[in-house]
Amino acid sequence: MGKRVLAILVEDRPGVLTRVSGLFSRRGYNIQNIAVGRTMEPGISRMTVTVDADPLTVEQIVKQLNKQINVLKISDLTDEPSVGRELLLVKVKAEPDKRGDIQQMARTFRARIIDLSPDSMIVEVTGNNEKLEAFLLMMQEFGIKEIASTGKVALFRGNKLIRETRN
């Protein structure tokens, strides 16, 4: 088993996300991350799904997904040259005497302070999962109040694109 990253082009219709995620759960595989957003093509959305499964299982899931009428194209980015990132927002306690330390830590991780209140700061950081986990570990010393994460989004490197192919 290992993390597999799938990029799935789907028609932008009600219920598509439910049907796609349901297919994974019916097979007993938990989706670790899912991110859905628009594409350059009107009416087409892109799902990036991270699942912990072996390649043979993913192959079977892909075959089942291809039978779904609203699924247009599926690509496994796991073993291909690709770039992936996640976005993490962290609300951290920010006592006045600790703010400089938090700002320095944010600079070290190339993060940005996006909100400041009398008792907290919200920090935005992007990167791979390892970077985000390391950042969270460092923020624990200040006291994490809340976090929100997008899950991974990814694209092939170079000229390779995921193109729609109508079933």
List the 31-38 sheet strands across, edge first. Answer: 31-38, 44-52, 3-11, 71-76
74 with 8, same domain: the answer is: yes
What integer pLDDT is reported at residue 164 of this predicted model?
A: 54
The answer to the question of residue 166 being in a domain is no
What integer pLDDT is reported at residue 163 of this predicted model?
A: 65
The CATH number covering residue 91 comes to: 3.30.70.1150
67 with 131, same domain: the answer is: no
Domain edge (last residue) among 52, 79, 106: 79
The answer to the question of residue 142 being in a domain is yes
75 with 98, same domain: the answer is: no
User: What are the pLDDT tens digits along the chain (167 aa)?
Assistant: 788 899 999 999 999 989 888 888 887 778 888 999 988 899 999 999 998 888 888 888 888 898 888 999 999 998 888 899 999 999 999 999 999 999 999 999 999 999 999 999 999 999 998 999 999 999 999 999 999 998 889 988 888 877 655 44
92 with 72, same domain: the answer is: no
The answer to the question of residue 165 being in a domain is no
What integer pLDDT is reported at residue 52 of this predicted model?
A: 86
DSSP character at residue 97 = G
What integer pLDDT is reported at residue 69 of this predicted model?
A: 85
What integer pLDDT is reported at residue 124 of this predicted model?
A: 98
8 with 66, same domain: the answer is: yes
54 with 114, same domain: the answer is: no
User: Residues 92, 154, 56, 71: is their CA dihedral positive or negative?
Assistant: positive
The strand ranges marked E within the chain are 3-11, 31-38, 44-52, 71-76, 82-93, 112-116, 120-127, 144-149, 153-156
Q: Residue 118 is part of which domain span?
A: 83-153
In 3D space, the residue among 142, 146, 148, 145 whose CA is nearest the CA of residue 102 turns out to be 142
138 with 120, same domain: the answer is: yes
**What is the reported pTM?**
0.80
